[in-house]
Each structure stands twice: as structure tokens, then as C-alpha cells.
Amino acid sequence: MGGGTTPERPLGRGPAPAIRPGPPASPSPGPAGDRPGIEPRPQGPPAPDPPAADPPAPERVAADLAGLYGPDSEAWRLNREAALLLGAGPLAVLLQVAHPLVAEGVAQHSTFKADPWARLDGTLRSYLRIVYGSGPAARGEIRRLNGLHRSVAGAVSDPAAAARFGSVYTARDPGLSLWVHATLIWATLVTVERWLGLVPRGRRAQFYTETRVVGRLFGVPEAQLPADLDAFEAYVASMLGPDGPVHPTDVSRDLARAILHPPLAPVVERGAVARALGRAAPAAAAVLRLAPRSTLTPMLMPAVGLLPASLRSELGLPWGPPERALAAWLATGWRLWRPAFPSGARWFPQALAADARVGERSPARR
């Protein structure tokens, strides 16, 4: 596997290409008589019309195609396995709602308890657009999310959280933005290493460095972002430590139960599944509403197993011999079956689309 990633991709070490605009176009001046205060010269033929605006510089086009990370980045390597979603997706959301103020925002400004799929799906689509989208698409998604979060604020309902953090919260608090950003990084690294094998520390450090620009775009000040992987690991440890802020409240535990006991009907009521079912989707949803909400809980046990033990206990999640055995069986089974499937069947469509977009630079074609 080569440090926990797919063998098809070389281990380039250079940083992701920076997003730099090309030099501004320099249109030729018009005839001298068109410029105020300058008389036209009588000799010589008239000057030609100004040329059309120059096309974008090749460097700018390449950067926009590569997006915020690009084909030589660790972000493109580590995020492409779709099956890792079973671990990294629920793990990141559980870590997020374990923060009392994030939990307040989710509980008060979404239908999360009734349909946790919506948040998981939205988080995944946004994350993949930022990682694998073109430069304009990735920056546009970040602007959209920042705009949505401006209205997410309110009174803290949990008495213990209010006593510790104050009576109000806002999603645009840089400290909360940093924590949500950090959960996605941490969940990716932990899931890849546990399921695919150790990632050399140099590559992990490169992956973290690549993510810092996204943290800044989400409004986290440079001085508040951990400077490197060592600082990032220390930050996560402090957030989860005994004196850190990430200790679940009753609101957090309610949300965690919703994550691990999701209703099935919403899966077929929208998106690709609904389109595939067509007119049969409403009938399928009616049948699935009869299924217990614990139906999919076993599939989420691998994500529960990736949580820090202390946080898993604080969330009140069971982790006895049956849960351990089930999580190990699912993760081991996936590792054994994975080589039997071609990369095109294992990788996210967004990753494949990004490979196609950058053409001959695509690592999958090297």
C-alpha cells in the first residue's frame, strides 16, 4: 500500500500548487486622440483598434483546474477511497457535536435528529467539492458555507454549557470554525491509518500543511491556526483533554444517538437513490419507515471504534465485545475485498472527475 494509500498514485512530496492570479492583462492603448489632453499626430496611419482582452494566463488556468490542492497533494491521495466514508464521515460528525456549542447550533438550526443523513450528506458534498473541485468551485463552496453560518447563532440551552461558555453562541466564532475544520483533518488521518496502514509522518505533515489555507478561508486567523502537525496534534489533545472544551452535554448525546440510529426513509427520498428508484421511491420510503432506527447501527460501529475511548464513554456509546468484534470484522473484510475492485469502483466520483479535469497531470494516468 505504500503508507496507507492506493498503489496507483506516486508519492509526490511537493506542496500543493498555490492559487495565484496571473498577471493583469495590459491592453494596448487606443489612438492618441482618444486620450484626453493629447493631440493626434498628423503623420502615419491610424493606430489599430485595441485587441481583445488577453485570455487568462496559463498559470491561472492550471491553478483553477487543480483547485485548492491539486494532483500532487496528499489531500487528493488520502481522501479518494469512498469506503473510508463509513469511518471518517460519522467520526468527524461525532467529534463535532461533542463540542457543546457546535451541538447547540446543530440542534437549533437543523433537522438533524429527524434526518441526520442530511448533515452527513451535506458535509461530505461540501468537503469533496473543496478538496477536489476547481479553484472557483472550491472557493465558491467556502463562501456559501460562510454565508450560511452567519445566521447560525442563539442562546445556549444546556445549563452546564451556558455556565462554562456563556449564554450565547455563534457558528462564526473562529474557535468553533477551527474545531470543525480540525475534526475533518483528524478523522481523515485516523481512518486512513487504522484501515489502510501507517502514513509516514512526513506525508501526514504535508497533508496538514495543505489544509491550513482552507482554515484561513473559513475565517480562522493565521495566529490561531496550528502552525504544523506537531502543533495540530497538541491542539486536538488539548481540546479533548480533561480541561478542554470538548466534553459532551445532554444535547451532544441526543445528537450522537441520532447519528448512530438514523431513519432509513430519507435515504430513498432524495438524491441519487431517489432518482434511481423513480416513481417507486415513495413506496420504498413508506416501507423503510417501518424499519427500526437501529437497522444501520452495526454499519457505523467502525466509526465508533475510531473515537478516543474517553470521548466514546462520555457520549454514552456502547463498546463491549460485540461492538468490538463487529467493527473489526467490517474493517478487516473491507481491507481483504478492496484489492478485488478497480480504483474506478472504489474512488469517489469527485476524485475521478478531478483526475479527468487536470488531464495528463492526473496521477491515475501516470
Model confidence over 270-279: pLDDT tens digits?
A: 777 788 888 8
48 grid coordinates: 489599430
- Domains in the chain: boundaries: 60-261, 264-292
User: What is residue 142's predicted lDDT score, i.e. its pLDDT?
Assistant: 95
How many angstroms separate the Cα of 125 from the Cα of each of 141, 214, 292, 350?
A: 10, 16, 27, 9
Q: State residue 269's pLDDT score.
A: 83
Q: What is the pLDDT of residue 183?
A: 97
pLDDT of residue 110: 85
Using a 10 angstrom Cβ sphere, with 0-12 exposed, 13-18 middle and 19 or more buried, the burial of residue 276 is exposed
Burial of 173 (0-12, 13-18, 19+ CB in 10 A): middle
Question: Residues 302, 187: contact at Cβ < 8 Å?
Answer: no
Q: Count CA atoms within 13 Å of residue 330 on its CB side.
A: 19
Q: Which residues pair with 153 in a beta bridge?
A: 170
Distances in Å between the Cα of 106 and the Cα atoms of 91, 96, 194, 263, 366 are 16, 9, 28, 18, 43
Phi/psi of residue 360, nearest 5 degrees: -65, -15
Instruction: Give the residue among 22, 13, 184 at the shortest CA–CA distance from 94.
Output: 184
User: In angstroms, how far is CA 119 from the centroid of its own chain?
Assistant: 12
Please state, in angstroms and rounded to a whole number, the distance separating the CA atoms of residues 115 and 125: 16
How far does the chain reach from its first CA to its final CA, in angstroms?
17
| Residues of the chain scoring pLDDT < 70 | 1-63, 360-366
Q: How far apart are CA 109 and CA 326, in angstroms?
A: 34
- Strands of 78-228, DSSP E: 153-155, 168-170
Give residue 11's pLDDT. Answer: 34
* CB proximity list for 332: less than 8 A, separation 6 or greater: none
Number of neighbours of residue 195 by Cβ within 10 angstroms: 22
At residue 47, the pLDDT reads 42
Of all helices (H) and strands (E), which one includes residue 76?
Answer: helix 74-78
Cβ–Cβ under 8 Å, residues 104 and 161:
yes
CA distance 228 to 48: 55
**DSSP character at residue 67:** T
Give the whole-angstrom CA distance, residue 335 versus residue 329.
Answer: 10
pLDDT at 162: 96
Q: Encode burial over 102-123: b for 16+ CB neighbours within 10 A, e otherwise.
A: bbbbbbbebebbebbbebbbeb
Strand pairing class (168-170; 153-155) = antiparallel
Residue 128's pLDDT is 94
pLDDT for position 62: 64
CB atoms within 10 A of CB 53: 8
How high is the pLDDT of residue 292?
85
pTM: 0.79
- 252: amino acid identity, one letter: S
Identify the pLDDT of residue 276. 86
pLDDT at position 65 is: 86
pLDDT at 123: 81
